[in-house]
Amino acid sequence: MIETSTRILDWIAAGLLVFVFLVLVYGIIYIHDIPYKLAKKRNHPHQDAIHAAGWLSLFLLHLIWPLLWIWALLYKPGVQTRTNDFLQDGFASKDDTQALRDEVAALRDQITKGRESVPTHQDDTDDNIVAETPAPIEPSGQEA
């Protein structure tokens, strides 16, 4: 009778261990999905990247998970902030990008005009340079 009750308790303990292990694995996956759920709720423009980085964080031993949380919380829908502009448009807004393109085009025009106005005079002295070879060193007859 004692042997059978011990076996039953062993199976119950094994079942509890499996149950706890499965709950822990599910809990870790659920916790790593929180930044993605926040991003999805806020309609974040990078929600797919946050989701992929959340899965990557599982394999990086949760190293980047706090950064994902911050990244998901940075975007505030309906609020005009520099952070939101950056997240939606990238480093520069469309107006800034066009202004930079115009400035680059103006600088290119200045360079090409500058090249046309510079005289193309070559000096003949560069062709007459003779390389000098160093004189060989004579070994001295003294022994150390």
Domain chopping of the chain, boundaries: 2-115
The pLDDT of residue 131 = 53
CA distance 63 to 56: 9
Average pLDDT for the chain: 81
Q: What is the tens place of the pLDDT at every residue in 7-62?
A: 899 999 999 999 999 999 999 999 999 999 999 999 998 999 999 999 999 889 88
Q: Count CB neighbours of 133 within 10 A.
A: 6
The per-residue pLDDT for range 67-81, each reduced to its tens digit, is: 999 999 988 887 777
The pLDDT assigned to 113 comes to 86
What are the φ and ψ backbone dihedral angles of 28, each rounded to 5 degrees?
A: -65, -45
pLDDT at 61: 86
Report the percentage of the chain scoring pLDDT > 70. 72
Evaluate if pTM is beyond 0.85.
Answer: no
pLDDT computed for residue 118 by the predictor? 55
